[in-house]
Structure 1
Amino acid sequence: MNVEILISFALATSALAISPGPDNIYVLVQSITHGKMYGLATVFGLIAGCIVHTTLLAFGVSAVIKANDNVFFGIKILGAIYLLYLAYKVFKADTHLDLDAESVPKKSLKGLFVQGFFMNVLNPKVTIFFLAFFPGFLFSDTMSTVIQFYVLGGIFMLVSFIIFSIIALLASQIKIYTLMHKNSGVVFKWLQIIVFIGIAVFILL
């Protein structure tokens, strides 16, 4: 088992979770609008959805790996290309962070959990991202690939849960910081670009 690969995966996941995206922005807005508990309920729903994607990936890609090594290598190449495409999309995107919370309707804690869950599960972009991200970080030649994907999924969920929860708990301070530092959007934009390119390169090494 290659522990260095697992550490690299955890660091990459941390950088992705910190970088502004639809999920953590949604958590942030819910916390700002309705309170920390509502942000945390959203976090639990989003993370629960990751279990479904991890399971689909573990059993689907594992079967491909067992069938043909060349096909698996092709998946890694396509994954790297997709990550580079995401970096390009971020590069072309606006740097403005929209934290306007006035139009966000209030839901119950259960409603936010369910909404977060289905936001994740029904988003095909999450499935594609998992397919692009995870295979490049398989860390053992002897362990079952199904188990390896579940280990990676567990690390991804744990790291994302911790960082998203911190975002929910510190929502007010984060909003004040972004308002005071107008260039924060530019910093986060380039962080995302560097992370996506870095992961793509790592996958191909």
Structure 2
Amino acid sequence: MNTELWIAYLLATTLILVIPGPTIILVISQAVAHGRRSVIPLAAGVVCGDLAAMTGSLLGLGAIMSASATLFMICKWIGALYLFYLGITLWRPAPKGCEDPATATPAPTHSLFRRSFVVTALNPKSIAFFVAFLPQFVDRHLPMLPQLLLLGGSFLVLALLNALLYALFASQLREFITQPPVRRWFERCGGTALIGAGIFTAGMQRTS
């Protein structure tokens, strides 16, 4: 694969990843709510979700979704409703005696992983990226599989680094917020952002 083309792909992908979408909003809100211990499972869920979306796209799921309004609507609404659910969860008041985050029961690692995986894998925008954007950087005159592995692997590495940096920043922010009422305010801001991301996802239109 042409080196200049690969570098252009890395730069374009980095710009796309840095712009916060539903996945990054989820990562930030969960990292603020659960602290540094949430960084690894959240980032791992993002990478596995992107891998699932990428695999499905390369196997033809993206093309099917582009052609089927019903399938697109199903994936869109599952993702949107899950974002609504997570946002409402952050808005719910903490049980009595658990207002102090230091004594609250932390979310299980598998739960954090599942949340970021589901939101990432079911995001129609992610599938559209692998269907419409990635193939533009494939040289038709060269073997396709090595190029897809390079482009896909590069995307996953960048997605991992992006999720880790956002999660680390949010978890560090949590460490500086010592007052429980202030932490609750940040969590509710995150919940509001997730609900907003759900509304945005629900309003997505199928590309023709």
Q: How many residues align?
A: 141
Identify the range of structure 1 (149-158 vs 164-173) with the bigger mean alpha-carbon deviation.
164-173
Taking the aligned partners of 2:17 and 2:150, their CA distance within structure 1 comes to: 18
**1:172 Cα shift?**
5.5
Instruction: Determine helix, strand or coil for the equivalent of 1:20.
Output: coil
TM-score, length-normalised on structure 2? 0.57
Measured after TM superposition, the shift of residue 46 of structure 1 is: 1.4
Give the TM-score normalised by structure 1: 0.58
> Paired residue for 1:162?
161
Deviations 1:109-168 (A, max 9, x none): 1111122222222333321222121011114622x3233222211101101111210111
How far is 1:31 from its partner?
1.1
Q: Which residue of 1 aligns with 2:20?
A: 20
Gap regions ≥5 residues in structure 2? 67-86, 95-105, 177-185, 187-208
CA deviations over 1:6-37 (Å, ceiling 9, x no partner): 11111111112211211111111111111022
- Say if 1:133 and 1:37 are closer, same or farther in 2 by CA, change over 3 A: farther
Give distance in 2, aligned partners of 1:145 and 1:161: 24
RMSD: 3.2
- Residue 111 of structure 2 aligns to a residue whose secondary structure is helix
Task: Indicate yes or no: 2:102 matched with 1:103.
Answer: no
After superposing the two structures, state which structure 1 stretch, 103-112 or 118-127, moved more: 103-112
Task: Verify the 8 A CA contact 1:28 1:168 in the aligned structure 2.
Answer: yes
1:29-178 pair list within 5 angstroms: 29-60=29-60, 102-103=90-91, 107-139=107-139, 141-142=141-142, 144-171=143-170
Identity of aligned residues (%): 30
Q: 2:115 is aligned with what amino acid?
A: Q
Preserved contact between residue 44 and residue 161 of structure 1 (Cα < 8 Å): yes
Structure 1: give runs of 5+ residues left out of the alignment: 65-77, 79-98, 180-205
